[in-house]
Chain A
């Protein structure tokens, strides 16, 4: 699995109210959510983000509410993966369940800059710049999360499981 795009860097403690404020949550349409993605943290992000772009952030990314719309907003805005020093646990689960890779790296935030063109190779477990000058290894995704991610999220994962059960019956 490969993600490719430009890097958007953010700091520590990017909470779900910054990713998608509560005042936008009465409309569940993903394209509506995308228009306000990261609104509390960056004025440029929602308008400037392109499909494939990668968020690189600090500690405790996604802390706060359990709102899954935080992941939906980023994903439908085009974000292909989030790399952070650490993730809040509910955001982490939500991202895996919606098939968006979330990867831990202690170094990425300090070595990558806004606008860097970068690529994530999930099989190799690394984030590298397209010019080959920067490279950082990513912590391995736990096996159970990896399975769900490889299926594309919890829904396809459960479908595959039930289809498999039907076949064996």
Chain B
């Protein structure tokens, strides 16, 4: 199928009846067998897929309290060991062992052990989450899979145990905040910069309880990987879910997963949105946010010269091939500054393999970077690069909260992988455009 065919197939010019519904209303309505569902309705939904990580341990504990032996449908359950993987302590090792035992006993075949990658990455990359599906994950960044047109919402472990027990839970149909962008992005401005810019405008609760729907022609230039960044960071505005359209980019990425009726996975042109905002691409510079507040994003030049001890590239936000390639453009032929360490955790085994094949890993190693196993890495402060008192880290991850990556007296700045790589070379926060030889 050519790109033009796909564009035709998924474009809004396809004649279909308009029902005035958002994609959130369509997906949740379908999952609750209530096609007329509207924003504000509280529905009993049956998810198409559920996912949990190390907190599967807690899910199982609650399931035992309910005296239930296994999930309602083991085929719909995904379990990934990614947060403290490989194990950081004896306790975690015991948790991992328990989880391995229970997935065997319960017949959960979609199990991803140490080193396979980050849960949200695997849901997309392994084509587990599909367009139009309702996916619940016991992790706040489950919004990430909106990149493939699925409605992904985070829940807690007890909630997940309830779903394992009954196959159902309650969800309120969210209102939708539509985000579009006009114009053309400047060079070396990446999806992470768009996300940090958006959050700096909307604030940490700017999309509370809402579905953030990215839409418009700007997405044409943003890959599935980039859409995952946007949907991932929507969680930092309080979003319940985030979603991108199933369009020709999706069709080209995965023709086999493209739905027959793309309209089922996008909002109708006459849908009612809570609000619509349009960003102007030219306004966005490489961004840095921090410390302690994700919404504290500003243009990188406002932070230049801040000394850093650690630079981290990875996480469910920015650990994909596209991210490692961007970092390698910056790092090629350069060295990480004395006294600074660059840690890189590919988001999955496949990302690591591809990056090896392309010579990207070799570039990172030659620059003096450290390659960590695929997984969450130091993002959540559990292991593999915990920060000490007074240390400063620039990170491609999603949260810069006080104490997040270790000491409460450490500081975390968030940025795109290119900005993190440039900062590693200079040993201080740096504009990636200098190293990409882009005239300012």
Contacts and interface: CB of A to CB of B under 8 A. Distances in A.
A22 B55 contact: no
Contact of B156 (A13, A40, A64, A97): A97
B42 A97 contact: no
B404 interface: yes
Interface of B: 42, 55, 57-58, 61-62, 65-66, 84, 88-89, 91-92, 95, 138-140, 154-159, 161-162, 165-166, 170, 204-205, 208-209, 238, 240, 293, 380-382, 386, 399, 401-404, 406, 408
Interface string A66-81: 1110010000000000
Interface range on chain A (Cβ under 8 Å from partner): 35 or more
Contact of A68 (B158, B166, B406): B158
Contact of B204 (A22, A60, A68, A144): A60
The winner among B57, B61, B238 for most chain A CB atoms within 10 A is: B238
A21 B386 CA distance: 12
Nearest 10 A/B pairs, CB to CB: A94-B156, A17-B401, A68-B156, A22-B380, A97-B158, A22-B381, A66-B140, A60-B205, A26-B91, A66-B154
Contacts of B402: 17-18, 40
The DSSP consensus for interface residues of chain B is loop
A89 B159 contact: no
The SS class assigned to the A binding surface is loop
Contact of B382 (A26, A63, A94): A26
Nearest to B166: A158
Nearest to A153: B158
A35 interface: no
A132 interface: no
Given A22-B382, A89-B240, A142 B42 contact: yes
Given A17-B404, A64-B399, A89 B208 contact: yes
B114 to A, nearest CB: 15
Nearest to A41: B402
Contacts of A93: 155-156, 159
A90 interface: yes
Given A66-B154, A93-B155, A97-B159, A88 B58 contact: no
7 contacts: A23-B381, A26-B89, A40-B403, A40-B408, A67-B55, A67-B156, A68-B158
Given A64-B399, A144-B170, A155-B65, 17 more contacts: A21-B404, A22-B382, A22-B404, A26-B84, A28-B57, A40-B401, A60-B208, A64-B140, A65-B380, A66-B139, A67-B55, A71-B156, A93-B155, A93-B159, A97-B156, A97-B158, A142-B42
A117 B92 CA distance: 40
A107 to B, nearest CB: 19
Contact of B140 (A21, A22, A65, A155): A65
Nearest to A91: B156
Contact of A23 (B138, B209, B386): B386
A22 B89 CA distance: 13
